Amino acid sequence: MPNNNVKSVAMEYLDKPISECTNQELYYILLKIVQREAKLLPVNNEKKKLYYISAEFLIGKMLSNNLLNLGIYDEVKAELAANGKSLDDIELAEIEPSLGNGGLGRLAACFLDSQATLGLTADGVGLNYHFGLFQQFFKFNQQGYKPDEWLIEPTWLTKSDVQYEVPFARFTLTSTLYDLEVLGYKQETRNRLRLFDLDSVNADIIEKGSISFDKTNIEENLTLFLYPDDSDRNGELLRIYQQYFMVSNAAQLIIDEALEKGSNLHDLDEYAVVQINDTHPALIIPEFVRLLTTKHGLTFEEAVDVVSKVVAFTNHTILQEALEKWPMNYLDEIIPDVANIIRGLSDLVKHNFPGNDAVSIIDNNDRAHMAHMAIHYGFSVNGVARLHTEILKNSELKAFYDIYPERFNNKTNGITFRRWIMASNHELSEFLDEKIGRAWHHDADLTGLYDFQDDEEVYQKLAEIKATKKEHLAEHLRITQNIPIRTNSIIDVQIKRIHEYKRQQMLALYIIKKYQMIKAGQKPKTPITILFGGKAAPAYTIAQDIIHLILTLSDLIQRDPEVRPYLQVEMVENYNVTEAEYLIPAADISEQISLASKEASGTGNMKFMLNGALILCTLDGANVEIAEKVGEDNIYIFGRSSEEIVDLYARNAYSAHDYYHREAIKPIVDFIVSDEMLELGNKENLRRLHTDIANKDYFMALIDLEEFIDVKEQMYADYEDQEAWMRKVLVNIAEAGYFSSDRTIREYNDDIWHLESNYQTEA
Ligand code: 26Q
């Protein structure tokens, strides 16, 4: 890149040498360099294109990843260093776009990276929210909220000239399309993430510094927020407005691009395949039917036939509350034509499957089931880990599996190695290069490490890398959050959205147990640092209570000179992709402790494994496949099986009360409302949580608690034998290759999308 070195671009834009530029200015310069380099690459444009439609794309910071994928990371870093500048410091100037919640959005981002890396013709399509998921802060040991403004110049977005009209009952809105470049790893071509925005959007309607705004002012608010609070009717209506705006734009774009390439629309499936990421984009099905019949002259039957060959559906959850069911009267109010098409689609199902109520689209309460519509009118349904797909087939969606067995398939999730090791753990990447060569950059095969299974120097080096990453994390937390952590401690991490099924409360109960043990004189050999990170949905009361419990315990321990030297508990503020990039490489222990059957896959588990943490887990989601790969000696498993849990729910046979009264459990649970806790914390939060756990415990934290405590103690004891520990670490890293999202995307393409491909790999 002769004309695009940092020096010349800095001169061009700012007329000064690198050494005189601020980090903010250098960030701007690097962004320009990446954008110029990207523009030189042609956009993948085979006849058939994948449109990956998602309400969330949790892409994280883009600078390092783009430099890495362009293959100029080392070069740029060296040029900056030669001028006294650090790329890590410059990266601090980048604002992370938080256009997602958690797993589903992060998966979409990993998929974009892999699609581009495999050279597939594939775009992401979503919404350009002006504010991402709220920024979390803690005050008085409670979660607080700030708006997450990310669209601050300079941004990576480029405005396109694509615009569409989206008709609602009360008005028609105009969109504008923004693009983000998606670069594959060392690829000659690129893809795009295409984010639709509302032309008439107006951020001034947000009350200053808050996340409140007039939810009824759709013409100005539609793309303002990801997940506006939907705990009231107006919030729910706004979600429908957002979803329809997203899919109507997407469908118009898809049809236009196909027409441009010569489609007659009867053959749309030769030009387009649409993967819908959970049900949030499911309204694209009736919207396609509407557009094809009213604008392009197809009959209803023809349109339904075309759509059914184009749309494929991924399910990410079996939690009932997450399966969207829209009241028909809401749809009638907002998008009456689409509502009527849904009635037509529902009638067709009733006609084809008379009496089979389990598969109906519109239920007896006049609500439209988005997942049901997506299964009937899509050609593929996939779960995101083997166990999850089996549960869908045999239990949650059994009625559908019975009628459409050929549509069901599994695609076990994966993660992009570019972000989750090459960018975030250079030390480990370089060590792997040295030991097993560089082919893993393309094929993710790390099994070459097995050659060093008895090599003490390798263990030593892995331990050194872990120590370095602990230092980096400690430095980062000290500077950004004023949290001092001990780098000589065992780092034990649970980072994910706060949800009862993920059982952060169970780890909090373990912390109470450990506190009591230390008070009773049983002190750990190596100090332990337990780190949490995660946001709780504003309307989710028990999740707020769990955060309060963790923060109060953290305080209690911090104030206790008897316990403090051995145990530290911290909750990292505003957990996001950037924090994950610091936390994961530093972790010794990864907590994957969901109630079996409830976590569809999990992807954090894969990131930890790749970075040399050992996994403490239930046999849930992809943990099952990880355990299979590494073998039971190299992972710590506990808890009831998914069959047992599914059965307990089916028979309504779990009694929290019985577990609560066990000798080993009651003193732990009651500590939540002990004098010392009530003095320090908020009585309402603590009492409500205590009552809930002792009496209801819907996600069964108590059922596995005793076993969890035993396995954790075993794990901490095992840590003391560092050689044996590192032996397990090595196996975990060596087996991580299967969980590369490149493998996942190849499977999607081979089984579902059938896009032109050569899966080329170049050194
Ligand atoms: C639904 C209705 C109303 C409001 C919100 C929602 C909603 C929003 C987000 C429902 C679900 C989500 C997100 C789900 C999600 O992130 N699922 C995770 O997907 C990951 C990728 O497949 C899996 O690894 C995780 O196991 C799964 O929890």
State the pLDDT at residue 267.
98
Q: Over range 239-258, report the average pLDDT.
A: 98
Residue of 54, 104, 497, 608 best suited for mutating to test ligand 1, as the one with most atoms within 8 Å of CB: 104
E strands along 412-557, which residues?
Answer: 490-495, 528-533
In the reported structure, the alpha carbon of residue 745 is separated from the centroid of ligand 1 by a whole-number distance in angstroms of: 19
Structural domains of the chain ordered from first start: 1-40+62-95 (no CATH), 46-61+100-132+145-413+746-752 (3.40.50.2000), 487-721 (3.40.50.2000)
Pocket lining: 54 vs ligand 1, CB cutoff 6 Å: no
How far apart are alpha carbons 498 and 142 in whole angstroms? 13
Closest CA relative to residue 672, chosen from 532, 564, 548, 570: 548
Q: What's the pLDDT tens digit per position in 182-194? A: 999 999 999 999 9
Q: Whose CA is nearest to atom 3 of ligand 1?
A: 322
Quick one: DSSP state of residue 95?
A: P
Place of tokens 């829209």: 326
Is 16 among the residues known to form the active site?
Answer: no
Q: Whose CA is nearest to atom 25 of ligand 1?
A: 602
State the pLDDT at residue 3.
62
Task: Tell me how far apart the terminal alpha carbons of the chain are, to the nearest angstrom.
Answer: 19
Pocket lining: 425 vs ligand 1, CB cutoff 6 Å: no
Pocket lining: 413 vs ligand 1, CB cutoff 6 Å: yes
In the reported structure, the alpha carbon of residue 107 is separated from the centroid of ligand 1 by a whole-number distance in angstroms of: 10
In the reported structure, the alpha carbon of residue 275 is separated from the centroid of ligand 1 by a whole-number distance in angstroms of: 16
In the reported structure, the alpha carbon of residue 318 is separated from the centroid of ligand 1 by a whole-number distance in angstroms of: 9
The pTM of this model reads 0.97
Kindly indicate the confidence band of residue 760, based on its pLDDT and cuts at 50, 70 and 90. low
How far apart are alpha carbons 253 and 256 in whole angstroms? 5
Residue 483 has pLDDT above 60, yes or no: yes
Q: Over range 77-85, report the average pLDDT.
A: 96
State the pLDDT at residue 231.
81
Residue of 278, 382, 501 best suited for mutating to test ligand 1, as the one with most atoms within 8 Å of CB: 278
Kindly state the percentage of the chain with pLDDT values over 70.
99
Pocket lining: 620 vs ligand 1, CB cutoff 6 Å: no
Place of tokens 């992807």: 603
Contact 666, 478 (CB under 8 A): no
Pocket lining: 41 vs ligand 1, CB cutoff 6 Å: no
Pocket lining: 599 vs ligand 1, CB cutoff 6 Å: yes
Q: What is the mean pLDDT of the chain?
A: 96
Q: Whose CA is nearest to atom 24 of ligand 1?
A: 602
- Closest atom, ligand 1, to C-alpha of 107: 21
Q: What's the pLDDT tens digit per position in 714-727? A: 999 999 999 999 99
Q: How is residue 281 written in tokens? A: 């984009």
For residue 531, list its beta bridge partners: 493, 570
Pocket lining: 585 vs ligand 1, CB cutoff 6 Å: no
What counts of helices (H) and strands (E) characterise the chain?
32, 20
In the reported structure, the alpha carbon of residue 727 is separated from the centroid of ligand 1 by a whole-number distance in angstroms of: 35
Residue 482 has pLDDT above 70, yes or no: yes
Alpha helices of 311-384 — where are they, by DSSP H? 328-334, 336-352, 370-376
Q: How is residue 401 written in tokens? A: 């599996």
Write the single-letter amino acid at 25.
E
Q: Whose CA is nearest to atom 6 of ligand 1?
A: 322
For residue 442, give the 3-state DSSP assignment. helix
For residue 203, give the 3-state DSSP assignment. helix
Long-range contacts of 365-368 (CB under 8 A, 24+ apart): 365/327, 366/327, 366/328, 366/329, 367/325, 367/326, 367/327, 367/328, 368/325, 368/326, 368/327, 368/328, 368/331, 368/342
Residue of 106, 226, 230, 316 best suited for mutating to test ligand 1, as the one with most atoms within 8 Å of CB: 316
Q: Over range 335-364, report the average pLDDT.
A: 97
Q: Whose CA is nearest to atom 1 of ligand 1?
A: 322
Give the other-Cβ count within 10 Å of 134's Cβ.
Answer: 22
- Closest atom, ligand 1, to C-alpha of 314: 22
How far apart are alpha carbons 425 and 105 in whole angstroms? 22
In the reported structure, the alpha carbon of residue 325 is separated from the centroid of ligand 1 by a whole-number distance in angstroms of: 15
Q: Over range 91-97, report the average pLDDT.
A: 95
In the reported structure, the alpha carbon of residue 102 is separated from the centroid of ligand 1 by a whole-number distance in angstroms of: 7
Radius of gyration of the chain (CA): 26
Residue of 317, 318, 599 best suited for mutating to test ligand 1, as the one with most atoms within 8 Å of CB: 317
Q: Is 325 left (phi over 0), alpha (psi -120 to 50) or beta?
A: beta
Is 316 among the residues known to form the active site?
Answer: yes
Is 496 among the residues known to form the active site?
Answer: yes
Residue 1 has pLDDT above 80, yes or no: no
How far apart are alpha carbons 341 and 480 in whole angstroms? 52
Residue 254 has pLDDT above 80, yes or no: yes
In the reported structure, the alpha carbon of residue 739 is separated from the centroid of ligand 1 by a whole-number distance in angstroms of: 19
Largest CA distance in the chain: 80
Task: Point out the catalytic residue in the list 293, 416, 603, 744.
Answer: 603
For residue 194, list its beta bridge partners: 125, 179
Place of tokens 């380099």: 37
How many residues does the structure list for the chain? Answer: 763
Contact 249, 164 (CB under 8 A): yes
Pocket lining: 162 vs ligand 1, CB cutoff 6 Å: no
Residue 252 has pLDDT above 50, yes or no: yes
Pocket lining: 316 vs ligand 1, CB cutoff 6 Å: yes
State the pLDDT at residue 2.
45
Q: What's the pLDDT tens digit per position in 645-688? A: 999 999 999 999 999 999 999 999 999 999 999 999 999 999 99
Is 192 among the residues known to form the active site?
Answer: no
Residue 761 has pLDDT above 50, yes or no: no
In the reported structure, the alpha carbon of residue 385 is separated from the centroid of ligand 1 by a whole-number distance in angstroms of: 14
Q: Whose CA is nearest to atom 2 of ligand 1?
A: 322
Q: What's the pLDDT tens digit per position in 401-412? A: 999 999 999 999
Place of tokens 């030297």: 565
How far apart are alpha carbons 634 and 182 in whole angstroms? 36
Pocket lining: 600 vs ligand 1, CB cutoff 6 Å: yes
State the pLDDT at residue 211.
76
How far apart are alpha carbons 604 and 240 in whole angstroms? 30
Kindly indicate the confidence band of residue 696, based on its pLDDT and cuts at 50, 70 and 90. very high
How far apart are alpha carbons 432 and 447 in whole angstroms? 11
Residue 544 has pLDDT above 60, yes or no: yes
Residue 180 has pLDDT above 50, yes or no: yes
Lowest average pLDDT, out of 37-46, 214-223, 609-618, 752-761, goes to: 752-761
Label the pairing between strands 49-53 and 158-159: unpaired
Label the pairing between strands 172-183 and 165-167: antiparallel
Residue 762 has pLDDT above 60, yes or no: no
CA triple 705-701-675, angle to 5 deg? 80
Q: How is residue 755 written in tokens? A: 């896009």
In the reported structure, the alpha carbon of residue 280 is separated from the centroid of ligand 1 by a whole-number distance in angstroms of: 10
Pocket lining: 384 vs ligand 1, CB cutoff 6 Å: yes
Task: Point out the catalytic residue in the list 497, 514, 598, 629.
Answer: 497
Q: How is residue 392 written in tokens? A: 């869908």
Lowest average pLDDT, out of 318-332, 469-483, 569-583, goes to: 318-332
Contact 101, 68 (CB under 8 A): no
Q: Over range 302-316, report the average pLDDT.
A: 98
Task: Point out the catalytic residue in the list 502, 514, 548, 629.
Answer: 502
Contact 343, 362 (CB under 8 A): yes
Element (H, E) at 273: strand 272-277
In the reported structure, the alpha carbon of residue 449 is separated from the centroid of ligand 1 by a whole-number distance in angstroms of: 35
